Amino acid sequence: MTTTDAATGSESLDPADWSGLRTLGHRMIDDMFDHLQTLRDRPVWQPMPDTLRGELRQSLPRLPRTPEAVYETFQRLVQPYATGNLHPRFMGWVHGGGNPVGMLAELLAGGLNANLGGRDHAPIEVERQVIAWAAEMLGFPTDASGVLVTGTSIANLIGVLVARSAKLGPKVRSEGAGGDRLVAYTSAAAHGCMPRAMEMAGLGRDALRMIPCDADGRMRLDLLAQHLDADRAAGAQPFLLIGTAGTVDTGAIDDLSAIADVAARQGLWFHVDGAFGAVAALSPKLRPRLAGIELADSVAFDFHKWAQVPYDAGCIVVRDQARQLETFGAEAAYLKRETRGLAAGGVWPCDLGPDLSRGFRALKVWMTLSVYGADRIGAIAEQTCDLATILAARVDREPALQRLAPVALNIVCFRYVAANGDLDRLNADIVADLQEAGIAAPSTTMVGGVLAIRAAIVNHRTNVEDIAILVDAVLAAGRKRVT
C-alpha cells in the first residue's frame, strides 16, 4: 500500500499505485449513496450481535491489511449497526438526520486535513463565514464572535466560562473563582449539560438554581425573582441567567424577552441554550416564538440537530468578542501572531474556546447551508413541527393514548394507558419493543412524574406515513402486552 522513494528509501503512507485506492474510494461513495437511497427498506436500528462485537475487539494491528479487506469489515460489522438516526422513523432523543451534501463535505474536509486552531488560511475564513451566518440567523450584530465545537454541551460550557470572566474580570484565569459565590439561574427543564457545565467551570452544580416551570414548561419568572432576592440577601453573587429555547423533554421555549429584561435590570449575563430550538429562527412562522433570543449575550446551539448537518457540529455565538477573548485568548510563544506569512490573521479560533487543534467542521455547515439554502432548512424545521401537530392530534383521538405535554415545537410526549398494571413499565417496554423490532425508535422521558413515550421529529425524511406507522405500532405493542 505504501510508496517507497527509490532515491532515499523512505516510505510514505500514500499508495504506490493510486488506481486501486481510487477505485475503492469510488465504490465507497456509491455504496453509501445506495445506503441512503434505501433507508426505508431496513430496520431503524438493530442491536449489534455479541459475536460481531467480539470480532471487532482485536489487539493493536501491527501488520497491514488491504483497504478492501478493512472496508469489508466496516460493511459487515459497523454499517448495519449504527445509531439509526438517518432513518425517517428514528424519533428518539433529539438526533439530526444528516444530509448527503454534508457527507460529501466530510470527505473533502478529510482530504484537506486542515487544522482550524489558527493561522492564515481559507478554511478558517469558511468558519468565520459560518459564524457570521449563525449571528445573522439569531439576529445578532454581524461582528459577533463565535466558534464551532463538538456540540451544545461544550458550547454551553463556553457560555458559562465567558459569563464567569465577564463577572469577575480576566483575573479569574489566574486566580480562579476563589471566594466569590457565583450563582446562576435556569429552568428546571434545562438540559443536564447545564449543571455539568457549572461543575466543569469549578462553580459547582449547587450554584445553579433550577427554577420550576409553569404548565407549558417555561421558567416561572415570579419564582426566579424570589430566588434572586434570596441569594442576594444571603450574600451570593448572581452572574448568569440561562434561557432555554426548546427544552429537551417537551420543546418548550422560555419567555426570552422577559428573561432578557430581568438580566438587563439585574446586571446578569444572558445566555440561551438553543441546542435545537435556535434553528427555528430560520422559519418565518416559528421565528416569533424565539423573540428575545437576539438580546442574548451568548447563544449555544447545534447544527447537527435540526439543521441536519452531519455530526458533530455545535456552535457558540458571543455578542461581544472582547469577552470571549478575555476568557480564552492564547498567549503562548509558539502561538505568536505575525503580520505576514502563515502565522498572520489576528484572532484565531484557539483564542475563542478551549481547543487548539480543530478539524474543518465548518465545511459541512457551509456546504449544507449553501446548497440547500437557509430558507429550506427553516422549512424542514417547520415541516417537523407540522408532523408533531399531526401526531398530537392522532394521540388525542386514540382512546388508548394519552398526551402528557403541550406541543411547543416538534416533540410529542404521550403514553399508552391500560386499566391496571404499572404504566411506566408498560410504556418503557413498548418503546423497547418498537426499537428492537426496528419499526420506529422513539425514546422515553419523565413528564409530570410519569414515564412518557417521547417522539422528537427532527429528521427531514420523516413524513405523514411514518407518523401513522409509529402510532399503529405503539397501539399494537400495547394491546399485545396488555392482553
**What does the binding site for ligand PLP look like in residue numbers (CB under 6 A)?**
94, 151-153, 191, 193, 244, 246-248, 273, 275-276, 302, 314
Q: Which C-beta is closer to ligand PLP: that of 99 or that of 250?
A: 250
Q: Which C-beta is closer to ligand PLP: that of 168 or that of 409?
A: 409
Q: Which C-beta is closer to ligand PLP: that of 189 or that of 401?
A: 189
| Interstrand relation of 208-211 and 182-187 (parallel, antiparallel or unpaired) | parallel
H or E segment to which residue 455 belongs: strand 450-456
List the beta strands (DSSP E) in 255-410: 269-273, 298-302, 314-318, 401-403
At its nearest, how many Å lie between ligand PLP and the CB of residue 296?
A: 15
Is the CA virtual torsion 392, 393, 397, 398 positive or negative?
A: negative
| C-alpha–C-alpha distance, residues 289 and 281, integer Å | 9
At its nearest, how many Å lie between ligand PLP and the CB of residue 153?
A: 3
At its nearest, how many Å lie between ligand PLP and the CB of residue 90?
A: 15
At its nearest, how many Å lie between ligand PLP and the CB of residue 35?
A: 24
Q: Which C-beta is closer to ligand PLP: that of 151 or that of 353?
A: 151
Nearest in space to 93 (alpha carbons), one of 465, 454, 336, 439: 454
Q: What DSSP string runs through 123-162?
A: HHHHHHHHHHHHHHHHT--TT-EEEEES-HHHHHHHHHHH
- Name the grid cell of 289: 416564538
Q: How many beta carbons lie within 10 A of that of residue 294, not counting itself?
A: 18
Q: Which C-beta is closer to ligand PLP: that of 153 or that of 165?
A: 153
Find the residue with minimal CB distance to ligand PLP: 151
At its nearest, how many Å lie between ligand PLP and the CB of residue 412?
A: 15
At its nearest, how many Å lie between ligand PLP and the CB of residue 482?
A: 32
Q: Which C-beta is closer to ligand PLP: that of 253 or that of 268?
A: 253
Nearest in space to 43 (alpha carbons), one of 312, 328, 441: 441
Residue type, position 37, single letter: Q
At its nearest, how many Å lie between ligand PLP and the CB of residue 304?
A: 7
Q: Which C-beta is closer to ligand PLP: that of 155 or that of 325?
A: 155
Edge-to-edge, what's the strand order for the sheet holding 208-211? 145-149, 314-318, 298-302, 269-273, 237-244, 182-187, 208-211
Q: What DSSP string runs through 364-386?
A: HHHHHHHHH-HHHHHHHHHHHHH
Q: Which C-beta is closer to ligand PLP: that of 253 or that of 471?
A: 253
Number of H helices, E strands in the chain: 15, 13
Nearest in space to 91 (alpha carbons), one of 480, 372, 468, 462: 462
Nearest in space to 270 (alpha carbons), one of 231, 302, 288, 296: 296
Q: Which C-beta is closer to ligand PLP: that of 248 or that of 430?
A: 248
Q: What DSSP string runs through 91-108?
A: -STT-----HHHHHHHHH
At its nearest, how many Å lie between ligand PLP and the CB of residue 118?
A: 24
Residue type, position 20, single letter: G
Instruction: Name the region of 462 (left: φ>0; alpha: ψ -120 to 50; beta: rest).
Output: beta
Nearest in space to 374 (alpha carbons), one of 40, 149, 140, 137: 137
Q: Which C-beta is closer to ligand PLP: that of 145 or that of 247?
A: 247
| C-alpha–C-alpha distance, residues 93 and 459, integer Å | 12
Cα 106 to the center of its chain, rounded Å: 17
At its nearest, how many Å lie between ligand PLP and the CB of residue 28?
A: 27
At its nearest, how many Å lie between ligand PLP and the CB of residue 171?
A: 30
At its nearest, how many Å lie between ligand PLP and the CB of residue 273?
A: 5
| C-alpha–C-alpha distance, residues 448 and 451, integer Å | 8
| C-alpha–C-alpha distance, residues 305 and 312, integer Å | 9
Q: Which C-beta is closer to ligand PLP: that of 152 or that of 430?
A: 152
Q: Which C-beta is closer to ligand PLP: that of 88 or that of 246?
A: 246
At its nearest, how many Å lie between ligand PLP and the CB of residue 121?
A: 27
Q: Are the C-beta atoms of residues 252 and 216 closer than 8 Å to each other? A: yes
Q: Which C-beta is closer to ligand PLP: that of 94 or that of 325?
A: 94
At its nearest, how many Å lie between ligand PLP and the CB of residue 433?
A: 25
